[in-house]
Structure 1
Amino acid sequence: MTEDHPRPDPARHGSRSGPADGQGPSAAASASSHGGGEDIRVTRRVAGVDAARGFALLGMTAVHTVDLWNDEAGRATLSGLLFSGKSSALFVTCAGVSLAFVSGGRVPSVGRGMVAVRWSVAARAAAIALIGLLTGLLGPAVDIILVHYGMFFLLAIPLLGVRIRYLLLGSALFALLGPWLVWWSRASLPGVDAYSSPTIADLATDPLAVALDVLLTGYYPALAWMAYLCAGLAVGRMDLRSLRVQVRLVLVGAALACLAWGSSVLALYALGGYEAIGRATPWMSGRSIEEVVAVGPDSQVPTTTLWWLVVPGPHTTTSFALLLGLGTALTVLGLFLLVPRAVTRLLTPLVAMGSMPLTLYTAHVLFLSSDAYEAPFWVQIVCFALFAVLWRRSRGQGPLENVVSSLAHQVRRRVLTRDAAPGLPG
């Protein structure tokens, strides 16, 4: 969730010198933050990713504060259709893009440079997870993603040097096999709760339950949601300045989303899935099933029949839901990368919000845990936008982003400056 572009380092790519784009994100962000020159094309690319992340933050705020389902009409609201599940999928996909940026851009770091990057990502993961464990103590009425986010980063460490084709293959495998592992764990393990936010007290008293929650049984099970992060890593390795790449992201994403949704609808309504779910889950009305299909469940998805695995609803963790979320995320990311520079300036508040998502997301969780949680959605968004714009112009990185990235930089520099690094993951 943190967006960080470290200063270029001679040891970053080991003994190999990559093309300019490999170091571009780091150089551009460092220059723009410290008053030096910048590569306008690379800065625009980073701004597009930040805008997409800001849009995801807007969507996640809407999901937590606006009704997603209209009980009287028996259908999803506009916010439910646009944002439920899709904003968090976009968050994680953008996280993969950011990991690609900090690990070398189009040309991954090698040698000691990659070792240093991997240790810095591990430090970043631990810091984000710790923030999540602490905020969970507040007991907000939302499912905090930060602990799971930290696990996504840890699982991504071995993938940082992998080629694009294998990252895309990994994304497909996580999307296809992950839901079966999640299904089996929820059906076989007694007493699992997919809708709790792990806390530091939980980690101290029952670390195994926390591990199962983060990996398999929780709201954002890592062994399935890694499909988003792998795809984001692959996208971050591409030439995002290329118009052809940007257009392909939009077209492929839209096609993937339509294919996932269409296949699910075919299985549910033409092949008998809807009726089979109704027979196997008699305590749920037809309208309740439709709500799960449209905006996701209020609790765990029942495991009464395998037909539930064709449901495309948000947070059902089916292959159809994952591919629909991924297709939507790629489309949105491609569209923001396509936005002309003149229009990007009009999106300054969104870009500023997207540059400090950890700070604003944590503030959102704190807000929901306070007595003011009933304030309108737009009040939160206006406050976030004003703070983000003013803070970015005066201080640069968001407060929590600065803390996390400083820790990661310290770890990275320490690895790079050591004479030898025996036993480190390379």
Structure 2
Amino acid sequence: MTAPASRIVGVDVARCLALLGMMATHILATVTAGGESSTSHVIASGRASGLFALLAGVSLALVTGGSTPHHGRRLMGERAGIVVRALLIGFIGLLLGALPTNIAIILVYYAVLFVMALPFLGLGWRPLGVLALVWAVAGPAVSLVLRDGIESPTRIVPSFEHLVAPGDLAQSLLLTGYYPAMGWFAYLLAGLAIGRLDLRRLAIAARLAVVGVAVAAVTWLVSADLTRDAAVRRALLTTDEGGATTWSQLRMQLDQGSYGTTPTGSWWWLVPIGPHSGTSFTLLHTIGCSMAVLGVAVLAARVAPRAWSVLFGAGAMTLTLYSLHIVLLTPEIPPKEIPSSYLPQVVVVLLTGAAYALARHRGPLETLVGSLSKATAESRWLRKAR
């Protein structure tokens, strides 16, 4: 059996893994009984959401021409469709943000990243790759400078109530929130660059995996080496805002995760790696991890792709299933948000994805967003404008 030619099954496999990883960070314990970071937290925290964002860039690249980017009138229509897609995803994110959960909903941030990507959709993989690298290095540095003058950073889970204070909402989405675009746009640019490669070629997928492992390893080792220096540790400790007094406390604090940003008192805050810290090394490391996962997923799915597309069918409908997952975390809906509820949610997600894949249907939210986006891209008024 073969998978539909219009989809790269490995991308859906990687997207499913990202969804399961994000679910794990929401539900499973972050520390063990001995006070150390749990295995699930070490593997998934920060990396799953980074992979999710990078794959969003891959998807944008695929719908705008893949390895041969569209231009002219066709790209103009696709840009309009992506604006509609961003608005709908942002609307869904605002709805989910109003639910009584403890989750930092990512969808409104995604919508912002989609709009930011519009000027870059006509570029090939080389300029996009350079832009991703530059943004990963420079974005956190610019953020550090801009945030230094902000006394009370705005960090909110966007919902409709925040629309009455657009300035605070914009500050959170772009600079101080849980997934600030100033840093996270590097993931989308990297995904766009990867999506401009011919991912169906064996050699490309293999190189993606190898380069990803190399980037992840090198950034980890360099960051670890730099933070061994006593002067660097002293600079980080004296500017830390979390109350750490020893390096082991600060390292554990970083490993447990930040809330989108780091303190601004020292340039050395661009160096440590930690979940959701938004540092330059964190962005580069998680981009490398995401490249490796995607490359391996694409390689694996070349064998019996139809079976992979069913087993990991959830990856083709992550908007629907991510939304379902958030709804299931509300107090009114059982089971409660406890570690033992993770496996039942995984089963629900995988079975739902498999059922839709077997029926060859798209998820309901994917159908809604996709159809309205496509209708906009192909609308009559746009054709007249051309």
The residue aligned with 1:172 is: 133
The residue aligned with 1:162 is: 123
The residue aligned with 1:108 is: 69
Counterparts of 1:331 and 1:323 in 2: how far apart (Å)?
12
Identity of aligned residues (%): 36
Counterparts of 2:312 and 2:187 in 1: how far apart (Å)?
21
**1:67–1:350 Cα change, 3 Å:** farther
In the alignment, structure 1 residue 420 sits paired with structure 2 residue 380: no
Counterparts of 1:337 and 1:272 in 2: how far apart (Å)?
43
**1:255–1:242 Cα change, 3 Å:** same
Counterparts of 2:311 and 2:252 in 1: how far apart (Å)?
30
The residue aligned with 1:408 is: 373
Counterparts of 2:112 and 2:126 in 1: how far apart (Å)?
23
Unmatched 5+ residue regions in structure 2?
none
State the TM-score, normalized to the length of structure 1. Answer: 0.84
The residue aligned with 1:19 is: none
The residue aligned with 2:10 is: 48
> How much does 1:344 deviate?
4.3
> Does the 8 Å contact 2:261/2:279 carry over to 1?
no
The residue aligned with 1:215 is: 174
Counterparts of 1:238 and 1:65 in 2: how far apart (Å)?
35
In the alignment, structure 1 residue 86 sits paired with structure 2 residue 51: no
Counterparts of 1:79 and 1:332 in 2: how far apart (Å)?
16
Counting only pairs closer than 5 Å after superposition, residues 139-150 of structure 1 correspond to structure 2 as 139-150=100-111
In the alignment, structure 1 residue 64 sits paired with structure 2 residue 23: no
State the aligned residue count. Answer: 379
> Does the 8 Å contact 1:185/1:217 carry over to 2?
no
In the alignment, structure 1 residue 396 sits paired with structure 2 residue 361: yes
**1:417–1:233 Cα change, 3 Å:** same
Counterparts of 2:87 and 2:205 in 1: how far apart (Å)?
33
Counterparts of 1:415 and 1:160 in 2: how far apart (Å)?
22
The residue aligned with 1:386 is: 351
Aligned with 2:227 (options 268, 280, 283): 268
Deviations 1:83-125 (A, max 9, x none): 0000011111111111111101111112210100000011101
In the alignment, structure 1 residue 197 sits paired with structure 2 residue 174: no
**Which aligned segments of 4 or more residues in structure 1 are displaced greater than 6 angstroms?**
none
Unmatched 5+ residue regions in structure 1?
1-28, 33-37, 422-426
Amino acid at match of 2:17: F
> How much does 1:346 deviate?
4.8
Amino acid at match of 2:29: D
The residue aligned with 1:16 is: none
> How much does 1:188 deviate?
1.4
Amino acid at match of 1:321: T
Counterparts of 2:375 and 2:259 in 1: how far apart (Å)?
42
SS in structure 2 opposite 1:269?
Answer: coil
SS in structure 1 opposite 2:385?
Answer: coil
Aligned with 1:235 (options 194, 197, 206): 194
The residue aligned with 1:256 is: 215
The residue aligned with 1:8 is: none
The residue aligned with 2:58 is: 97
**1:419–1:340 Cα change, 3 Å:** closer
The residue aligned with 2:184 is: 225
SS in structure 2 opposite 1:369?
Answer: coil
Counting only pairs closer than 5 Å after superposition, residues 359-378 of structure 1 correspond to structure 2 as 359-371=320-332, 372=334, 373-374=337-338, 376-378=341-343
The residue aligned with 2:274 is: 313
Deviations 1:293-318 (A, max 9, x none): 32312685333433322110011110
The residue aligned with 2:244 is: 284
Superposed CA RMSD in Å reads: 2.1
Amino acid at match of 1:272: A
Aligned with 1:186 (options 116, 128, 147): 147
> Does the 8 Å contact 1:55/1:350 carry over to 2?
no
Deviations 1:211-247 (A, max 9, x none): 1111111111112111111111111111112222111
> How much does 1:291 deviate?
2.1
**1:85–1:357 Cα change, 3 Å:** same
Counterparts of 2:122 and 2:317 in 1: how far apart (Å)?
26
Counterparts of 2:129 and 2:302 in 1: how far apart (Å)?
29
> How much does 1:333 deviate?
0.2
**1:126–1:298 Cα change, 3 Å:** closer
Amino acid at match of 2:22: M
**1:165–1:299 Cα change, 3 Å:** closer
Counterparts of 1:355 and 1:327 in 2: how far apart (Å)?
23
**1:181–1:259 Cα change, 3 Å:** same
Counterparts of 1:198 and 1:180 in 2: how far apart (Å)?
25
Counterparts of 1:389 and 1:366 in 2: how far apart (Å)?
20
